[in-house]
């Protein structure tokens, strides 16, 4: 006989049970803690890493690889990144669910005195005591209520027939602390969501706004990349030169920006900056004028760090400063022999100059000017100072017709390196690279003129041929050798080595040796070539000194000899420099620009109110303990039995002391009744 066992199939969960599961998950402590940790990590990143900077700045700071990695994680605008907004939104939902689920319980706990508590529940409390007094119950009841009221308790009294319960409670607002802290979290996060760039990101994703990537004036930015004046929330930046005005702010997004129109015009009348002894900015402030159609006269205000201006719901902060278009007077000194003529140039920072050179047209892009460059002194000076200002510098780019550019930074005055004076000119091919510096030695007059004459002469083939021939002839005559063919061969070799050196430095000479000399003879050949080259370069240098008026019969001083060594090192590196000329800053007219951050944050009032609730809630939780006391009074013949019990959630030791004092006061009170 077969037996058929029917196994009941699992019925699908009802919608009500699924909703209950979801509510339990959303209101769970584990979810809240996970979200809190994520938001805390994001807040640390957003505090340490400057947000919404141009991508070029991040590439310079981190390099291409880490820039792309951080960009993928959304760390450059962390407060508007998808994962941060997701965490913040779910934290609001989770906390709201927790509030909805637990508020009725909290309210009941605040209002419930527990008048119906059973005796067996009182005797299991950690603090309870029992005794009898030779007093009627009514007299004991009066004494108990007076003592508990004097201690700040609120009372409820209930007669149960066989006994009377005096239920006392104080610190019920402690329970409200839980509610306030949870409401504070919801309020603060809601304010943060209102003031975030969430709506802007959504518009960019849906195509309602286009990110502008071109470097064009704000007036030329199309309407699709502009935000209206009634935009409820934004955080933008604008740099305004002294004497200029702006009615827009720029909001950096990804690798571009959008323009936020303002309902007023901000004019910068003057900008001031003070420095510490080490060159760091000590303070900077801006004299502003706010031009508004609704005002008869402009609003004047001096904006400083930590002293913002709030006007019509917009807040202006002093955020930074930079160059506002300083006028630079430059002198172009040729380096490659294509031209021997110096040229004077005048341009403003952020201006692009078109240059015609023998090698083709170039674009000179003046990008920055710094009036002060304070650098540490390795061992300090005699006065004990550890820093010094090495003077102004300017930064520019040279761009070739194919779009390739190199960036340069040149200092106006020579700097001391190893006890000698050099004009420094840094060069790099990419913002991700560090500057490599060409050290041009300064002559006795603290100018680069002698070095520049040296390199001009080295590139003058006609004069170079004469110098090598004269040098060879004199050397052979000193050795009493009269060989015209040998003289021609040595002269030609010296000329060729000088040409190789000027085109590629010592590296080119080594390459030449490796290509034309058998491997077994390379070492000796290189040594011989270097001697010939050194002899030729010294004769060229001697010609420079003679043209300056030096008497070579007196010999070359140690300083002039050191200058030769430094000049040769610089000449050997000029092929890496990449520029056909050296730009020397002769004079400048400094103009500064004030960097302002302009925000509109309607959610900040919610955040402030949320923090007020949070502080209040935390105070109630930590400094207002919730405690309950019960006195059970029962007749025992002509006597009254008293069962006193109490509990407190925190600080049990303090409550134990208070409970003992309460018991003693009640005994003393009852003993005074006649």
pLDDT at 278: 62
Q: Are strands 234-241 and 592-600 parallel, antiparallel or unpaired?
A: antiparallel
Same domain, 572 and 476: yes
Q: Does residue 113 lie in a domain region?
A: no
Q: What CATH number has the domain bearing residue 144? A: 3.30.310.80
How many other CB atoms are found less than 10 A from the CB of residue 342?
13
The total number of structural domains that make up the chain: 4
Query: Helix %, strand %, coil % for the chain, to 5?
Result: 45, 30, 25
Q: Check if the beta carbon of residue 167 is closer than 8 Å to that of residue 630.
A: yes
Same domain, 51 and 190: yes
Same domain, 160 and 216: no
What are the residues whose beta carbons fall under 8 Å from the beta carbon of 471, sequence distance 6 or more? 491, 494, 535, 536, 539
Q: Does residue 370 lie in a domain region?
A: no
Same domain, 643 and 558: no
Same domain, 184 and 159: no
Same domain, 459 and 531: yes
Give the DSSP H or E segment for 381. Answer: none
Q: Check if the beta carbon of residue 425 is closer than 8 Å to that of residue 330.
A: no
Same domain, 285 and 147: no
In which domain, by residue range, is 146 found?
123-171+630-672
pLDDT at 452: 93
How many alpha carbons lie under 13 Å from residue 294 in its C-beta half-sphere?
4
What are the residues whose beta carbons fall under 8 Å from the beta carbon of 607, sequence distance 6 or more? 187, 188, 191, 192, 195
Block mean pLDDT (10 aa), the chain, length 674: 50 64 73 82 83 72 81 80 81 86 81 90 92 91 93 93 93 86 89 76 78 86 91 90 94 84 95 76 89 91 93 92 92 78 90 86 93 75 68 94 92 92 93 89 93 91 87 73 76 87 89 87 86 89 89 83 94 91 94 93 88 92 90 92 91 89 92 70
Structural tokens at position 549: 């008026």
pLDDT at 480: 64
Same domain, 320 and 246: yes
Please give the Cα distance from 255 to 235 (Å, whole number).
Answer: 17
């Amino acid at each position: 006989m077969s037996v058929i066992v029917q196994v009941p199939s699992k019925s699908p969960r009802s919608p009500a049970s699924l909703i209950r599961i979801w509510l339990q998950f959303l209101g769970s402590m584990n979810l809240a803690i996970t979200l809190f940790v994520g938001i805390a990590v994001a807040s640390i990143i957003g505090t340490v890493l400057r947000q919404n900077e141009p991508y070029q700045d991040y590439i310079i700071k981190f390099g291409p690889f880490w820039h792309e990695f951080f960009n993928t994680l959304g760390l450059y605008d962390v407060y508007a990144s998808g994962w941060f907004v997701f965490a913040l939104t779910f934290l609001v939902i989770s906390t709201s669910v927790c509030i909805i689920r637990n508020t009725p319980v909290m309210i009941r706990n605040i209002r419930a005195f527990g008048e119906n508590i059973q005796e067996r529940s009182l005797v299991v409390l950690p603090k309870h005591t029992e005794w009898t007094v030779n007093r009627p119950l009514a007299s004991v009841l009066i004494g108990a209520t007076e003592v508990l009221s004097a201690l700040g308790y609120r009372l409820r009294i209930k007669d149960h027939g066989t006994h009377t319960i005096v239920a006392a409670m104080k610190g019920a607002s402690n329970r409200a602390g839980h509610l306030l802290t949870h409401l504070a979290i919801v309020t603060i996060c809601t304010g943060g969501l209102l003031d975030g760039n969430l709506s802007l990101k959504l518009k960019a994703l849906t195509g309602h706004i286009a990110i502008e990537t071109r470097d064009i004036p704000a007036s030329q930015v199309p309407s699709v990349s502009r935000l209206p004046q009634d935009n409820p929330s934004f955080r933008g930046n604008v740099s305004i030169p002294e004497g200029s005005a702006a009615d827009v702010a720029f909001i950096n997004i990804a690798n571009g920006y959008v323009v936020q129109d303002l309902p007023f015009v901000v004019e910068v009348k003057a900008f001031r900056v003070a420095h510490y002894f080490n060159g760091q900015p000590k303070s900077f402030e801006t004299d502003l004028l706010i031009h508004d159609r609704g005002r008869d006269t402009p609003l004047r205000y001096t904006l400083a760090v930590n002293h913002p201006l709030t006007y019509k719901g917009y807040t202006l902060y002093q955020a930074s400063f930079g160059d506002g278009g300083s006028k630079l007077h430059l002198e172009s000194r040729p380096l490659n022999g294509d031209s021997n003529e110096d040229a004077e140039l005048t341009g403003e920072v952020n201006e692009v100059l078109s240059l015609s050179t023998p090698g083709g047209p170039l674009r000179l892009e003046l990008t920055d000017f710094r009036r002060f460059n304070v650098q540490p002194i390795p061992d300090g000076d005699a006065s004990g100072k550890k820093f010094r200002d090495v003077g102004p510098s300017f930064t520019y780019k040279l761009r070739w017709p194919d779009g390739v550019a190199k960036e340069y930074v040149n200092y106006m005055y020579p700097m001391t390196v190893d006890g000698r004076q050099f004009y420094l000119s840094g060069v790099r091919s990419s913002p991700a690279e560090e500057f490599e510096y060409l050290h041009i030695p300064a002559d006795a007059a603290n100018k680069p003129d002698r070095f520049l004459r040296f390199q001009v002469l080295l590139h003058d083939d006609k004069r170079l041929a004469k110098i090598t021939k004269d040098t060879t002839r004199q050397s052979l005559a000193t050795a009493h050798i009269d060989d015209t063919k040998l003289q021609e061969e040595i002269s030609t070799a010296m000329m060729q080595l000088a040409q190789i050196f000027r085109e590629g430095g010592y590296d080119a000479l080594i390459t030449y040796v490796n290509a034309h000399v058998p491997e077994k003879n390379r070492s000796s050949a290189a040594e011989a070539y270097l001697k010939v080259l050194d002899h030729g370069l010294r004769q060229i240098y001697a010609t420079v000194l003679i043209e300056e008026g030096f008497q070579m019969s007196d010999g070359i001083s140690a300083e002039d000899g050191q200058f030769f060594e430094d000049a040769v090192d610089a000449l050997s590196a000029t092929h890496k420099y990449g520029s056909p000329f050296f730009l020397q800053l002769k004079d400048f007219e400094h103009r500064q620009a004030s960097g302002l951050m302009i925000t509109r944050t309607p959610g900040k009032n919610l955040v402030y109110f949320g923090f007020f609730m949070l502080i209040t809630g935390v105070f109630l939780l930590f400094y207002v303990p919730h405690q309950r006391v019960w006195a059970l009074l029962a007749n025992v013949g002509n006597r009254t039995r008293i069962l006193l019990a109490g509990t407190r959630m925190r600080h049990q030791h303090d409550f134990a002391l208070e409970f003992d004092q309460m018991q003693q006061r009640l005994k003393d009170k009852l003993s005074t009744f006649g």
